[in-house]
Structures are given as C-alpha cells and as structure tokens.
C-alpha cells in the first residue's frame, strides 16, 4: 500500500536532513539532486498549507464550505449552532462537569458525549431558519467515513437517536461511491457493500443509498446493491456526474425521492404544487445548458492553486453570470506573478499573467491576509482604473484599491497597510480596535453588519434597489484610515457606504469609471442561485456592456439583456422589433368590426413600458 502524503513529507524532510549531514555518501549511492528534493518538499508541504475558504454566518460564526452550500441551495439563514463539531461537544460536556451537573460521576463518551450530541440536534432542529416558522425537517450531515475514530461518537449518538425520536421521524441516507474502472468499464459495488455492512454493524440501517458515480448505473447494478444492502431497488438513487450541480435536485426528484420522503416521514406534502414549486429551478438548470456567450472574469488572488479557497466567490460569479444569460469563464491569476520582481526573475510567467489579465472582460480582487502578492493586487487595481476595466474588490481588494489610489493619485508613494509595514508614514489601512495582536482566533470583525449609504448618486446603491442601508457579512481585521478619507474624496474616490457611526469605510466607487467598486464586506456569502449578489451582478453587467441599460430600466433585465444573441443578431432583433412595432400600430389603430377594443392604444412611442427590443415590458403589468 502506498504511504500517505504526510508520511512522504516526513520522509523527504528527513532525507534532505541526511543529505546535508552526509552529502558524499548520499550523492555517491543514490545520485540524488538536493535542489529537486527541496522543490519536492516545498510542493508536498505546501499542499497541506493551501487554505480552504472560511464561510461566515450572520452571527459571526466561521464554518466550513458545506454549511455555505446548504445556505445557498436552501436559501435559508443558518447559525453557529447549526455547525456541530467534536470540539464544541467536548467543551460543552467539560463545562457541565466543572459546574457539577454530573454530580461527580465519571464523564464518559457513552452516555455523556452521545447525550450531548442528541440534545444539541433536538434543540437546533426546532430553531427557525427562515422567518419565525418552525422547521418540519432537519437535515443532518454526518461527515467523514464510516469506521473513522473521529466520527464514532456521532454514529453511536444517532444509533440511539433513532429510537429516541421514533422510526417515522428518522430517515437515514447513505452516500457511497460506485467506481467505474476504465480497464473493465464495469461499475464496482464492493465499496458500497462494505460501507453499508460497516454502517449496519454500528446499528444504523440506511433507508436510502445515494450512489455517486461517473456515469449512470443500470438497473442490474441497482438490484445488486439492493440485494446486498437490505434496501429496495427504488431506494437506490444514482447521482452521476452532470454538466451542472443545479441538475442534481431535479435528478433526485425524477428518482422519486420526494414521494419516498413524503411517505417515510409523513410530511403530508401536496404533490399537486410540486411542479410549480420547482419551475424556477428548472429554468435555472435549463439556462446552464442553453447559454452560449461567455464572459471572462480574471480573479487576481493569492491562493489560486486551490479552487476551494474562493468557492463562494466563484459561486457568486456563476449566479450573476447565469442571471444575465452568460457562461462564466474564470481565469485565476496569481497576484505574485504581476509584480516587478517576477518580471526580473521569471519574465515569461510575468507576461503570460498580464496577458490573461488584459484579455479578460472584468477583474475581481478577492480577500486575503499577509504581505505575499499584495503588490500584484495593487498593480491590478491600477491597471483596471487607468484602462476603464470593470473591477470589483472585496475586503483586501478594497484596501489594495485605496492604497493604489493614494500612491498614484495623491502622490503618497509610501502609502501602505500596517499589516505589511507597521512603521509606514502613510498608513492608509490600519488595524481595528477589535483586533488583538497575537490572538488571532475570533478577534476579527465578523458577521452581519449594517452599511449606511451616503447621499448622492451611486451605482452600487442603485444595484441594491436604492435602500438607505444594507446588511452584509464581514470578516476583516483592518480598515481604511478615516483621516485620509477627505483627501481621497477630493481627488475622486467616493466612499458611498460607511458603518452606522460613519467611521468605517464600507464601499468605494469611482464615478468616472464604467464599474470600479470595492466593498469591505464579503457580498459573496449572501449570493443565491436565484438571487445573485448585486455587486457581482454589476460586475458581470459592466463586463458585457449592459450595466447602463440595466440601471436605466430601474435595475430590471430587459429581453435584450436576457437574450443570448450576438451583437449582429441583436441589431437584427432590434430592427425586426421596430418593424413589428410599426405594423402593430397600423393594425391596432383601426377599430375592430365587432366594436370591441383589444386594450392597446396603438401608440408607437418608446415609453418606459416598452422593452429594449421594442416589445412591451411584461413586468409592469401591461
């Protein structure tokens, strides 16, 4: 069996150490290259340091990507208690023991840990996630692999829980991989049989077996899994690889999951309303298949080697692109490669990354921490500002845009952030009072906060629907230095959003630019498939030259903006629509023979009620 990555890393580290100690022996016997091994060590150890995104909830809880996916798909608001971890459970039990709630008894995994898990689930299951309505169903993801020591207390807790809440209130779905070896082309069910056998040995018998596979599995494979796993063939659901994740709920519906859960959990769902309920989702899934034209967005980040680092940002871009009927083409650019130092050491990489940036339709500068790659982000902001390229900055992206503007417009060449240079004479970005140096955990400005819009015209405010305030989620330790704000605004940088005390800058905007917007908060956390985030929607619209028309129509998408026609096709559509409008005016100007009016006035003027293609706007009630 091949060793694990961690083992390889440790061995390589020891190998390099031995080479340094006895170079002659190692070089003579193994002919190894120390530089190659050091490169291998950097790559292997770096794989363990690549950051995954931290998802932030309304109440400031920092959770993993799974909870973010649940929020996006279900369009609900989750809380810190929706994230149950081993650390939280053990801390809860230890605190109870310290306060004497166990009356001196020996604290054990069973029953104290398992009871704490069950009580936690029962309490959270009754907490509303949408308005004040009590939920009917609580979905619990028991992560990990059956048999892992980390998850065994949870497995035992749910074994007990099924008897605690009765069978009609407990349904278990087991997700398993069905591999398809290329050598044989035959789906292998042994991993599924083995995991189900392990699960049943722990006292849990699955009601549904969800099989993940590369290709659809046939009825014969389903029947085989049914025979060996003690479930009916209709309880084996195959979810194969699809073109879009938005097709997965529809595939599960086709497999009868709704009917099964309705009967199994006695939900009493009215099946006649089901088609109407999923119609918007069907339209969304269909749009992912039919969209033709692309929009290219360059993400200038620091962690681009690992896609999950910007998972929510990518999802928010996809939501906005689909809303305007565009296919998203993402280009990840390592910000380090845009710096002058790279031009000296690796000119080919430098020019390749700049070429990708220049060829993109829009630029997004996401958040991050640390000094690495900061100068590259600043240069990307400068290029977007000077070349009128649509740009959206998030968190560190806002700070980079402010520093760039101060350096190149205000003439403060040493402008910087105290995160990078604590002794800078012009600290444009400073740490906040909440930030406790040396104590990093949970000391940031986290969770949903209110942003107050300033008076005056603002593109980003119009994209939100022109409200006075907006609530978005934050995650940052540094902020724009308030004492530089008047000078920045004198030279054209507008701070159109602040906190309630008007001391913290939340949104910046350049008025003489197609779309140059940056936010201190993270709008990607509240983006939904059917409700894209306004800042991301503005970036996509500006990148396809549709933002002015969108704003003129009161921030509504016209038939022309929703169409997937090319520029030439659009001109033909407009011409055809104009001719059709003229013909319509001739036809409806005469009174019908029967004397009945058709409700149209026959006017040929292009009023606000008409669409961009000359047709009548159906959204205003005509």
The DSSP-derived string for 113-168 is IHHHHHHHHHHHHTS-SSTTPPPS-------S-TT-GGGHHHHHHHHHHHHHS-GG
Q: pLDDT tens for residues 186-213?
A: 899 999 999 999 999 999 999 999 999 9
What are the DSSP calls for 460-503, one per residue?
Answer: HHHHTTS-SEEEEEEEESEEE-GGGHHHHHHTTEEEEEE-TTS-
Which residues, including other chains, have CB under 8 Å from residue 26's CB and lie 6 or more apart? 18, 19, 32
CA dihedral 350, 353, 357, 363 (to 10 degrees): -110
Cβ atoms within 10 Å of 179's Cβ, excluding its own = 15
Burial of 520 (0-12, 13-18, 19+ CB in 10 A): buried
Q: pLDDT tens for residues 303-358?
A: 888 878 899 999 999 999 999 999 999 999 999 999 988 889 999 999 999 999 99
Tokens of 205: 């018998």
From CA 356, how far away is CA 310, in angstroms rounded? 19
Q: pTM of the predicted model, to two decimals? A: 0.80
Whether the pLDDT of residue 603 is over 70: the answer is: no
From CA 299, how far away is CA 365, in angstroms rounded? 6
Out of 101-105, 352-356, 563-567, 578-582, least confident range: 578-582
Instruction: Please list the alpha-helical segments (H only) found in 519-566.
Output: 534-543, 547-552, 559-562
Strands (DSSP E) contained in 12-127 are 55-56, 62-63
Cβ atoms within 10 Å of 198's Cβ, excluding its own = 14
Whether the pLDDT of residue 246 is over 50: the answer is: yes
- In SS3 terms, 398-438 reads as HHHHHHHHHHHCCCCCCEEECCCCCCCCEEEEEECCCCCCC
pLDDT at position 129:
86
From CA 99, how far away is CA 96, in angstroms rounded? 5
Whether the pLDDT of residue 574 is over 80: the answer is: no
The DSSP output letter for 214 is S
Q: pLDDT tens for residues 154-197?
A: 999 999 999 999 989 999 999 999 998 888 778 999 999 999 99
β-bridge pairing 62-63 and 493-498: unpaired
Q: pLDDT tens for residues 215-227?
A: 998 889 999 999 9
Per the prediction, the chain carries an average pLDDT of 81
Tokens 């096709």 locate to: 569
pLDDT at position 49:
47
- Look at residues 390, 385, 387, 374 and name the one whose alpha carbon lies nearest to residue 408: 385
Burial of 212 (0-12, 13-18, 19+ CB in 10 A): middle
Whether the pLDDT of residue 588 is over 70: the answer is: no
- Look at residues 519, 523, 479, 468 and name the one whose alpha carbon lies nearest to residue 503: 479
Q: pLDDT tens for residues 371-380?
A: 888 999 999 9
Stretch 535-549: mean pLDDT, rounded? 94
pLDDT at position 471:
94
Catalytic residues: 395, 522, 524
Out of 30-39, 322-331, 347-356, 398-407, least confident range: 30-39
Q: Taking a C-beta distance cutoff of 8 angstroms, is the pair 339, 96 a contact?
A: no
Sorting pLDDT into bands at 50, 70 and 90, what band is 439? low
Residues shown for the chain: 622
pLDDT at position 66:
86
Torsion-angle region of 621 (φ positive above 0: left; ψ -120 to 50: alpha; else: beta): left
From CA 79, how far away is CA 61, in angstroms rounded? 7
Tokens of 178: 């069905």
Q: Taking a C-beta distance cutoff of 8 angstroms, is the pair 550, 93 a contact?
A: no
* Phi (first) and psi of residue 397, to 5 degrees: -65, -40
From CA 586, how far away is CA 578, in angstroms rounded? 13
Q: Taking a C-beta distance cutoff of 8 angstroms, is the pair 282, 24 a contact?
A: no
> Percentages helix, strand, coil for the chain, rounded to the nearest 5?
50, 15, 35
């Amino acid at each position: 069996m091949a060793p694990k990555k961690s083992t390889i890393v440790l061995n390589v580290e020891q190998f390099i150490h031995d080479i340094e100690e006895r170079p002659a022996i190692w070089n003579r016997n193994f002919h190894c290259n120390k530089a190659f091994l050091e490169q291998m060590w950097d790559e292997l150890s770096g794989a363990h340091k690549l950051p995954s995104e931290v998802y932030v909830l309304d109440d400031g809880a920092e959770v993993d990507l799974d909870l973010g996916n649940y929020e996006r798909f279900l369009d609900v608001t989750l809380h810190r208690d929706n994230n149950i971890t081993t650390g939280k459970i053990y801390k809860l039990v230890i605190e109870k023991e310290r306060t004497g709630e166990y009356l001196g008894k020996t604290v054990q995994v069973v029953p104290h840990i398992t009871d704490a898990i069950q009580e936690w689930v029962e309490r959270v299951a009754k907490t509303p996630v949408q308005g004040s309505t009590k939920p009917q169903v609580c979905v619990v993801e028991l992560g990990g692999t059956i048999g892992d020591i980390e998850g065994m207390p949870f497995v035992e807790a749910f074994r007990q829980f099924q008897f605690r809440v009765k069978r009609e209130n407990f349904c278990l779905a087991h997700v398993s991989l069905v591999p398809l070896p290329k050598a044989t082309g035959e789906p292998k069910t042994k991993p599924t049989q083995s995991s189900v056998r392990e699960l049943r040995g722990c006292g849990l018998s699955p009601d549904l077996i969800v099989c993940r596979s590369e290709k659809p599995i046939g009825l014969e494979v389903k029947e085989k899994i049914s025979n060996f796993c003690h479930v009916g063939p209709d309880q084996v659901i195959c979810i194969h690889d699809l073109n879009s994740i938005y097709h997965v709920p529809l595939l599960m519906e086709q497999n009868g999951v709704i009917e099964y859960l309705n009967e199994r959990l006695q939900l009493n769902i009215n099946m006649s309303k089901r088609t109407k309920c999923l119609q918007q989702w069907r339209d969304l899934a269909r749009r992912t298949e039919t969209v033709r034209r692309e929009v290219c967005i360059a993400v200038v980040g620091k962690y681009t080697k690992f896609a999950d680092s910007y998972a929510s940002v990518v999802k928010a871009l996809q939501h906005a692109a689909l809303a305007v009927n565009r296919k998203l083409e993402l280009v990840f650019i390592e910000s380090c490669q845009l710096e002058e130092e790279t031009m000296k050491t690796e000119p080919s990489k430098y020019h390749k990354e700049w070429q990708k940036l220049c060829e993109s339709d829009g630029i997004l500068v996401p958040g991050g921490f640390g000094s690495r790659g900061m100068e590259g982000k600043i240069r990307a902001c400068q290029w977007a500002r000077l070349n009128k390229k649509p740009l959206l900055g998030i968190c560190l992206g806002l700070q980079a845009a402010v520093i760039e503007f101060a350096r190149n417009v205000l003439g403060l060449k040493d402008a910087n952030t105290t995160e990078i240079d604590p002794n800078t004479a012009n600290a444009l970005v400073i740490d906040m009072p909440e930030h406790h140096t040396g104590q990093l955990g949970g000391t940031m400005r986290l969770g949903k906060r209110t942003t107050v819009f300033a008076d005056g015209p603002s593109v980003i405010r119009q994209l939100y629907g022109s409200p006075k305030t907006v609530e978005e989620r934050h995650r940052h330790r540094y902020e724009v230095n308030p004492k530089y704000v008047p000078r920045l605004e004198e030279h054209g940088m507008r701070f159109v959003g602040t906190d309630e005390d008007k001391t913290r800058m939340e949104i910046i905007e350049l008025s003489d630019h197609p779309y140059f917007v940056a936010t201190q908060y993270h709008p990607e956390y509240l983006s939904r498939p059917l409700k894209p985030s306004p800042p991301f929607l503005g970036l996509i619209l500006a990148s396809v030259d549709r933002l002015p028309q969108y704003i003129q129509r009161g921030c509504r998408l016209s038939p022309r903006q929703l169409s997937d026609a090319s520029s030439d096709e659009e001109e033909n559509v407009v011409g055809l629509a104009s001719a059709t409008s003229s013909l319509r005016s001739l036809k409806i100007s005469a009174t019908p023979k029967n004397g009945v009016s058709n409700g149209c006035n026959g006017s040929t003027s292009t009023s606000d009620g008409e669409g961009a293609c000359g047709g009548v706007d159906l959204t205003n009630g005509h």
